[in-house]
Amino acid sequence: MGNGVLPRQTHTNIQFFSFALIAIGMPSTKVLMSFGLVFAIANWVLEGGFSEKWNTIRSNRLLQLLIVFYLLLIIGLTWSWDAVQGLKDIKSRLPMLFLPLIMATGKTPMDVKQVHRLLQLFLATLFVTSLFNVLYFHFNVDTLSAGDIRGLSRFASHIRYGLLIALGFGICVWFQLQNKKIIPVYFLLAAWLAFYTIYSQVLSGTLALISVAFTIVFYLLYKWKKMLAFASLGLLVIMAGCILSYLLNPTHEKIDCNKLPKYTANGQLYNHNCTIFSEINGKAILAYYSEVELFLEWRKVSDMDFMGLDKKGELLRMTAARYMTAMGLTKDAEGIKQLTPKDIKNIEDGYSYPNERTDMIVPRIYGLKYQILNNQFPNGHSLLQRLEHWKAATFIIQHEWATGVGTGGNQQAFDWAYDQLNSPLNPENRLRSHNMYLAYAVSYGVLGILLFLVILGVAFHYAWKNKDLLSLIFLMVICGSFLIEDTLETQLGVTMFGFFMGLLMYANRISFRK
């Protein structure tokens, strides 16, 4: 078996075919990712040469750390709060170990052209699927939750797909930088992927794209003039601080409901409530609010039940109040009469202000501002729910800081924490941490999170040391996603991590030496 069951070239072809299935599958379908992983592992076993592979492992620090981390997952079953789920988690994490292992130790390492072809297959699939997404959304917008832009992603979670788009943008720029002249296909594809990110309104994808762009700029400036690179870093920090200040310190009008008129122009009683505010103009959403008049007048302009839900699944009467507040209208019969048919359609579709349909990424920023202004209602709001998830994760870590709750025990631990904290979250929203750093601290305590951070730190060190821009781009995207998502708890996320971490090891196969 030392020389392989099949001819060497056959093993080489199978290995490339396996990786090609994964490269195509990440932007398109889990089936290809699964088949690619199975073929790659089987080929790696059948090609033999385990003594050589062992020697490679012994000389590759990053690979050693990944193996130790995977062993921690297995050992973590012994103190798991849910060993059955733990076994499923160990199986689902296979790409995280085997893809880097195969790329780092395979007897038939890929040549540069093969790596380029894999990346080109990934980009081609990303282009086809993103184009399909836009066309499908455009022609079916009325049937996709009233045009909720999150329905744009047809092949994967909009969050994970947004990360792939950002990676694709970085790969295009990387290919372009490898050449001395402009290559139109990469230039145009990068522009398309940047447009798609903004058009899709996925905030995490937009942040990932910004991090990719900054990584490239910082890398190029550092090679030219280090001072300029660090100046750009300082400027980015200042800009981020200003944006956070804008979001975290929203202002709203100071209003006393007792001093407002009690009756509408038609003599109906106002149901004033001055505790919920508009993210657009800071005005109280339920001030000058007459539910009776709104209900009666709405029936004249729409067939949708005013007391029911809009097409995004939100309370239609609340959507109408937010929309009319953004327009500066009173929420009564007179206000309804000033709405155009387009306004009525927007409200039915679940839009909270007139330009939300066309403002691209701006509505997501307004959405965050709305959540912060009205933080007493976490359910249904991604940011506020995450804060509750992080609060529960911190509570678990405080009680299980030494060893954590073991592999697979996260959900049971979170269920316990939410009960202990009397969380305001509804049962369906009581999810896990949505943060990989917290997730591993919950599962494995101090040792687990330290080991995970060391792995990422060593990867960054060698990528920077070897001037591997492509790996730096990947690490910035994936590490950023860990802050707000359970990236490695999904098949696409863990496959993306394993595949590109494997390419990092391939690119530096000789450099990862003691």
Burial class from Cβ neighbours inside 10 Å (0-12, 13-18, 19+) for residue 402 reads exposed
- Residue 249's pLDDT band (cuts 50, 70, 90): confident
pLDDT for position 508: 55
- Residue 147's pLDDT band (cuts 50, 70, 90): very low
- Residue 146's pLDDT band (cuts 50, 70, 90): very low
- Residue 390's pLDDT band (cuts 50, 70, 90): very high
Give dist(CA 11, CA 44) in Å, integer: 8
Kindly list the domain boundaries of the chain, sorted by start residue. Answer: 1-48, 60-109+371-514, 116-248, 257-349
Quote the longest CA-to-CA distance of the chain.
92
Q: Is the pLDDT of residue 248 over 80?
A: no
Give dist(CA 342, CA 120) in Å, integer: 43
Check: CB of residue 274 under 8 Å from CB of residue 245: no
The residue ranking higher by pLDDT, 233 or 285, is 285
Tokens found for residue 215: 């990584």
Residue bearing tokens 């509750």: 388
- Residue 171's pLDDT band (cuts 50, 70, 90): very high
Which tens digits make up the pLDDT trace of 440-472?
Answer: 999 999 999 999 999 999 999 989 888 889 999
Residue 380's φ and ψ, nearest 5 degrees, are: 85, 0
Which tens digits make up the pLDDT trace of 22-74?
Answer: 999 999 999 999 999 999 999 999 998 888 899 989 988 999 999 999 999 99
**Dihedral Cα 268, 273, 278, 282, nearest 10 deg:** 100
Q: For the chain, what percent of residues have pLDDT higher than 70?
A: 95
Q: Is the pLDDT of residue 255 over 90?
A: no
